[in-house]
Amino acid sequence: MRIEEEEEYGFLRANALGLAFGGLFLVTLLGQGISGTADFNAQQVANGLEPVSFAQYLTSSSFGVDVMENWQSEYLQFFLYIFATVWLVQRGSSESKEPGAEGTESDEAQKLGRHADGDSPAWARAGGWRTAVFSRSLGLLMGGLFLLTWAASSLAGWAAFNSEQLGQRQDPVSWVGYLGEAEFWNRSFQNWQSEMLAVGSMAIFSVYLRQRGSPESKPVGAAHRDTAQTG
Amino acid sequence: MVHACPKRRGGVIIAAGALLLTGCASAHEPEVRQVAVTFEDPSGDPEERCGLLAPATLVAFEHSESAPCADAVQDLPLDGGDVESVEIWGGDAQVKVAGDTVFLTETDAGWRITSAVCSPRAEAPYACEVDGP
């Protein structure tokens, strides 16, 4: 598509994918808040305790840990996938590079320094630490967000765990103590395993199956052995 | 539950999060401490002490003692004493006094006692003479 046509495309259509998923995120987060409040209050009533308001639940550690434990696993998934696909290939997958192209590739292939185009980002042309950082910025951001959300998950989980401990007439634990609790690792691993399954199965399914018009798929008529094609 | 202090969802770091959590707890500490001390005082007004029990705990206590709370509360083996520690996590709290451990919950009427006259039991929950459902 030519640039002139893109500029006439309008903001909404030009950003439809990001806007659609941003909206879906908010709707589903609201759904989690509503259903989570109902679930939490059912447990409160069963324990002879007072129910909480929607606002109280949204600011609770229970809601916080349920949100954070999912966020951290999503960012871990993308962080690992971004780095793994630099070095690992899957023959025939639209999610993979061609076999033989493993690694960080040449400056020419990556349009760095003197190989940069006229409209390449400034830091791709700058060289030195700027180019080094920009060359890894997507993975670094995903990895950083994973660490932040995992830390947040541990804090919210710690608070929720101690609240439950007190509700069950048991002593609270320290943050370090919570990191040694089975609950923290169970929450982490149950999210991580599902992300690894989703990524691995997508890499394999895209070898043999097609979705016409999707860039996540090869063209419908592409051979199963064709790698790195998108349609 | 952390009621009054919203948890930041993005960009939280451990130090900031820990400050947030402890800050929340300290705001409630005076009331939690006062409720526990008042209930634990054997010379206190029985009606006032019973009014500090959570509703479900009050019902369970009167049922188990087969007596009105104001009568039964005076027979509890409580000596009062200094507060040794206060733990507040969301809508739940624990106060350790010299000879007892008390558990509380946050209600619309303020902090109320869910369990008292509690003894630790290694890895198991405390055994409490006054306890809710």
Average pLDDT of span B41-64? 96
Average pLDDT of span B28-45? 95
Under the banding of pLDDT at 50, 70 and 90, the label for residue B12 is very low
Q: Is residue B60 part of a domain?
A: yes
Q: Is residue B7 part of a domain?
A: no
Helix H or strand E encompassing B97:
strand B92-97
Does residue B117 contact residue B100 with C-beta atoms inside 8 Å? yes
Paired residues of B104 in beta bridges: B93, B113
| A218 vs A198: CA distance, rounded Å | 18
| A142 vs A196: CA distance, rounded Å | 16
Write down the ipTM of this complex: 0.84
Under the banding of pLDDT at 50, 70 and 90, the label for residue A12 is very high
User: Does the pLDDT at position B2 exceed 50?
Assistant: no
Q: How far is A61 from chain B (nearest CA, A)?
A: 5
Q: Tell me how many residue pairs between chain A and chain B have CB atoms under 8 A apart.
A: 114
Structural domains in chain B (count): 1
| A67 vs A85: CA distance, rounded Å | 27
Question: pLDDT tens digits, residue range B13-34?
Answer: 555 555 556 556 688 999 999 9
CA nearest to B60 within chain A: A48
User: Does the pLDDT at position A3 exceed 60?
Assistant: no
**B3 and A148: CB-CB below 8 Å?**
no
**B1 and A60: CB-CB below 8 Å?**
yes
Q: Is residue B99 part of a domain?
A: yes
Question: pLDDT tens digits, residue range A125-173?
Answer: 999 999 999 999 999 999 999 999 999 999 999 999 999 999 999 999 9
User: Does the pLDDT at position A89 exceed 80?
Assistant: yes
Q: Is residue B19 part of a domain?
A: no
* Residue A215 neighbours by CB under 8 Å, 6+ apart: A230, A231
- Among A197-201, A223-227, B77-81, name the one with the lowest average pLDDT: B77-81
Interface test with A, best of B89, B121, B123, B129 (most A CBs within 10 A): B89
> What pLDDT score was predicted for residue B81?
84
Q: How does strand B92-97 pair with strand B83-89?
A: antiparallel
- Dihedral of alpha carbons A118, A122, A126, A131, sign: negative
A59 vs B3, B18, B114: nearest CB: B3
Q: Is residue B39 part of a domain?
A: yes
A172 vs B11, B87, B132: nearest CB: B87
Does residue A113 contact residue A125 with C-beta atoms inside 8 Å? yes
**A151 and B17: CB-CB below 8 Å?**
yes
CA nearest to B58 within chain A: A48
Contacts of A163 in chain B (CB under 8 A): 1, 89-92
Reading phi first (left if > 0) and then psi (alpha if -120 to 50, else beta), residue A132 is in alpha
Does residue A186 contact residue A54 with C-beta atoms inside 8 Å? no
Residue B120 has φ and ψ, to the nearest 5°, of -70, 150
Q: Is residue B6 part of a domain?
A: no
Does residue A162 contact residue B87 with C-beta atoms inside 8 Å? yes
Give Cα separations from A3 to A8, A9, A15 (angstroms). 9, 10, 15
**A159 and B89: CB-CB below 8 Å?**
yes
**A151 and B12: CB-CB below 8 Å?**
yes
Rounded percentage of chain B residues whose pLDDT exceeds 90 = 73
Reading phi first (left if > 0) and then psi (alpha if -120 to 50, else beta), residue B96 is in beta
Q: Using alpha carbons, select from B50, B27, B16 the residue that is nearest to residue B106.
A: B27
Contacts of A56 in chain B (CB under 8 A): 1, 3
Average pLDDT of span B84-102? 95
**A48 and B56: CB-CB below 8 Å?**
yes
Q: Is residue B43 part of a domain?
A: yes
Q: Which domain holds residue B75?
A: 28-131
* DSSP conformation class of B4: S
Q: Is residue B125 part of a domain?
A: yes
**B2 and A152: CB-CB below 8 Å?**
no
CA nearest to B6 within chain A: A59
> What pLDDT score was predicted for residue A230?
75
**B92 and A67: CB-CB below 8 Å?**
no
**B14 and A67: CB-CB below 8 Å?**
no
* Residue A202 neighbours by CB under 8 Å, 6+ apart: A95, A216
> What pLDDT score was predicted for residue B20?
59
